[in-house]
């Protein structure tokens, strides 16, 4: 199976991509939320859609081992360049997609996917199945996504891509992940640029068709930003794609602890 590739402009603009990562959630509130739910220290971590490896090396600081999974060769090169600047002997790169991971069954403890592949539709079901396969019992899986209904940055994203971030985006995505046993946590953070040039560089990369129009509406270097953290723990619920047969889903439900139904409400990590 060939890897599903979602081309990202940061693959062609490493400086702006780096600036975006540095500007987004500078106080690392998302990481604080992840750590509060399930620390990755001493664990084997899988970073799906690792991009330039910005978060990969952060995980590597305390993890036992980190797999950086990235299908785009251009971004793989950025990870390699980062590791040359920031050596991390416990990081290994896997050039592959989420739907066919070159990892053995039950070989990782902690999985992270940030703005990558798992976009809350049936298109990511093969990836969900693969995560279930490679994750050890008791392991944790986190999907990080934009909440387009919260924050000033969200309003900009919605104006740039109304077809993607449609009116019921958050409702539909929460419902999708809830069907697969995830619990949603809301994180309130910011996008903070060091100067106007950095802000415009990020806008030019992420919103190339309307960056000037959007930038002209921004008069500050800090924008509020809502993030959704979806969390699933393997021993809580067997993750079976909704497309599976009725018999398979029924067999899986027989093993789902009742407490799972109480774990689907939204909670706030701030």
User: What integer is the mean pLDDT of 183-199?
Assistant: 98
Reported as a pLDDT band with limits 50, 70 and 90, residue 270 is low
Backbone angles phi, psi at 224, to 5 degrees: -65, 150
- Please tell me the pTM assigned to this model: 0.87
With 80 as the cut, is the pLDDT of residue 264 above it? Answer: no
User: What integer is the mean pLDDT of 87-109?
Assistant: 97
pLDDT at 106: 97
Is the separation of the CB atoms in 35 and 59 below 8 Å?
no
Is the separation of the CB atoms in 3 and 126 below 8 Å?
no
Task: Name which CATH class applies to 9-16+27-148+164-188+226-268.
Answer: alpha beta
User: What integer is the mean pLDDT of 181-196?
Assistant: 98
Domains in the chain: boundaries? 9-16+27-148+164-188+226-268
Q: DSSP secondary structure string, 45-100?
A: EEEET-TTSHHHHHHHTT-SEEEEE---HHHHHHHHHHHHHS--TTEEEE---TTS
Please measure the distance between the N-terminal and C-terminal CA atoms of the chain and give it in whole angstroms.
40
d(CA 2, CA 140): 26
How buried is 270 (Cβ within 10 angstroms: 0-12 exposed, 13-18 middle, 19+ buried)? Answer: exposed
């Amino acid at each position: 199976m060939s890897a599903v590739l979602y081309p990202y402009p940061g693959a062609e603009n490493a400086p702006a991509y780096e600036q975006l990562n540095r500007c987004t959630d500078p106080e690392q509130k998302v990481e604080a939320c992840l750590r509060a739910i399930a620390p990755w220290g001493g664990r084997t971590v899988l970073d799906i859609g690792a991009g330039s490896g910005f978060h990969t090396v952060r995980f590597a600081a305390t993890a036992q081992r980190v797999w950086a999974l990235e299908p785009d060769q251009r971004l793989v090169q950025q990870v390699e360049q980062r590791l040359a600047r920031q050596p991390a002997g416990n990081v290994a790169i896997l050039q592959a997609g989420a739907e066919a991971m070159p990892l053995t069954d039950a070989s990782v403890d902690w999985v992270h996917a940030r703005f990558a592949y798992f976009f809350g539709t049936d298109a990511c079901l093969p990836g969900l199945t693969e995560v279930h396969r490679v994750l050890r019992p008791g392991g944790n899986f986190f999907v990080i996504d934009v909440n387009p209904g919260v924050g000033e940055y969200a309003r900009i994203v919605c104006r740039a891509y109304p077809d993607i971030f449609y009116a019921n985006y958050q409702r539909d995505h929460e419902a999708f992940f809830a069907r697969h046993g995830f619990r949603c946590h809301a994180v309130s953070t910011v996008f903070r640029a060091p100067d106007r040039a950095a802000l415009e560089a990020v806008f030019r990369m992420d919103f190339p068709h309307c960056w000037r129009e959007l930038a002209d509406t921004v008069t500050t270097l800090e924008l509020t930003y809502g993030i959704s953290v979806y969390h699933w723990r393997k021993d809580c619920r067997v993750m079976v794609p909704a497309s599976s047969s009725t018999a398979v889903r029924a067999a899986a439900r027989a093993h789902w602890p009742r407490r799972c139904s109480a774990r689907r409400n939204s909670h706030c990590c701030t």
